[in-house]
Amino acid sequence: MINLEILAIPKDDPVAFTFFTGYMAMMAASIFFFFERSRVSDKWKLSLLVSALITFIAAVHYYYMRDYYLATGENPTALRYIDWTLTVPLMCVEFYLLTKAAGASKSLMWKLIIASVWMLVFGYIGEAFNPEGGSTMHSVIYGFLSTLGYIYVLYSAWMGEVAKLADSSNNPAIKKSVRILAWFVLVGWAIYPIGYMCMPGGWLNISLGWNSSNVDLFYNIADAINKIGFGLVVYSLAIGQTHSDKNLQTA
Ligand SMILES: *C/C=C(C)/C=C/C=C(C)/C=C/C1=C(C)CCCC1(C)C
C-alpha cells in the first residue's frame, strides 16, 4: 500500500514545509547558475559551476531528507551530514577560486577543506552519537571541538590568509565579494550551532526547551541562505567582472 503520509506536506508542519521549499529553491538555483555560466567570461565559469554543484548536491539531499522526515518524523542526521561534507568544502573552494588570481595556493584550499571537514566530523559525532535522552557533556565536548574548525575558516575569511589575499588583489570587486562571503560565514553559518544546541542535551534544549524538531528548521533556513546566497555573491561578481573586462576591450 502507498503511504500517503509521505506524499502530502502537512500544512501545520513548518519543518516539512521548509524541506519542500528548500528542495525547490536549491533546484531552481542550480539551474540558474548552470545556465548563467554561458554569460560570464571563461575565467569565471568554474566558480559558477561550483555554485551550481553546491545547490544541486543540496537539492538531491533535500529530496531524500524530506521523504525521510515525512516517513519517520525524525531528523535525517546522516543525510544532512553527507550533504554538508560535500557542499561545505565546495564553499571553501569558492574562497580559493576568488583569491586565486591574487596568488592563493592549493595549500590554502586544503587547509580550509580540512578545517571544514573537522568541523563536520565532530558535529556529526556530537549529534548522532549522543546517548538516548541527550548528554550535555557529550554535546558540549563535540560542539566545542567542532567550533575550532569553524573558527579557523572564520578567521581565515576575516583576518587570515583569505582576507589578506583579497586585500592584495587590488581588485575592489573581489575584496568586496570576499567580505560579503565572510559575513555569510560569521552570521549565516552561526545559525547551525544554534540548531545543534536545540538537540537533547544541548544548551538551548536545556535552557529554553527548544527541541530536535527545531534543529531541522534552523538547518533548512540556514542552508537556503548560505548555499544560494554564496552562489549569488559569486554570480554577481562574475557578471560584473565580465562586463568590466568587455568595456576595457572596447575602450
Ligand atoms: C551548506 C551547509 C553549511 C554552510 C553548513 C555549515 C555548518 C556549520 C557551520 C556547522 C557548525 C557546527 C558548529 C560550529 C558546532 C556544532 C556542530 C555544528 C556542526 C552544527
pLDDT tens for 204-250 read 998 998 887 788 999 999 999 999 999 999 999 999 999 988 887 77
Give dist(CA 202, CA 212) in Å, integer. 10
pLDDT at 9 over 70: no
Domain limits at 46?
11-250
Share of the chain above pLDDT 90, in %: 83
Ligand 1 lined by 202 (C-beta under 6 Å): no
Query: Is 236 a domain residue?
Result: yes
Helix, strand, coil percentages (3-state) for the chain, rounded to 5, are 80, 0, 20
Identify the DSSP state of 30: H
Query: Is 153 a domain residue?
Result: yes
Query: Is 219 a domain residue?
Result: yes
Evaluate whether 180 touches 163 at the Cβ level (below 8 Å).
no
Q: Residue 209 is placed in which grid cell?
A: 526547551
Global pTM?
Answer: 0.94
Tell how far the Cα of 224 is from the centroid of ligand 1, in angstroms.
Answer: 14
pLDDT at 5 over 60: no
Query: Is 214 a domain residue?
Result: yes
CATH number for 55: 1.20.1070.10
Query: Is 132 a domain residue?
Result: yes
Structural domains of the chain, count:
1
Residue-level pLDDT at 153: 98
Which of 125, 192, 223, 226 for mutating ligand 1's site (highest number of atoms within 8 Å of CB)? 192
Q: By mean pLDDT, which of 60-64, 163-167, 206-210, 216-220 is the weakest?
A: 206-210
Evaluate whether 211 touches 190 at the Cβ level (below 8 Å).
no
Give dist(CA 228, CA 244) in Å, integer. 24
Residue 185 CA, distance from chain mean position: 9
Residue-level pLDDT at 247: 84
Band the pLDDT of 168: cuts 50, 70, 90: very high
Atom of ligand 1 nearest to the CA of 150: 14
Query: Is 89 a domain residue?
Result: yes
Which of 189, 197, 204 for mutating ligand 1's site (highest number of atoms within 8 Å of CB)? 189
Nearest residue (CA) to ligand 1, atom 19? 123
Query: Is 245 a domain residue?
Result: yes
Tell how far the Cα of 188 is from the centroid of ligand 1, in angstroms.
Answer: 10
pLDDT at 54 over 90: yes
Higher pLDDT, 165 or 133: 165
pLDDT digits (tens, 9 = 90+) for 185-195: 999 999 999 99
Query: Is 77 a domain residue?
Result: yes
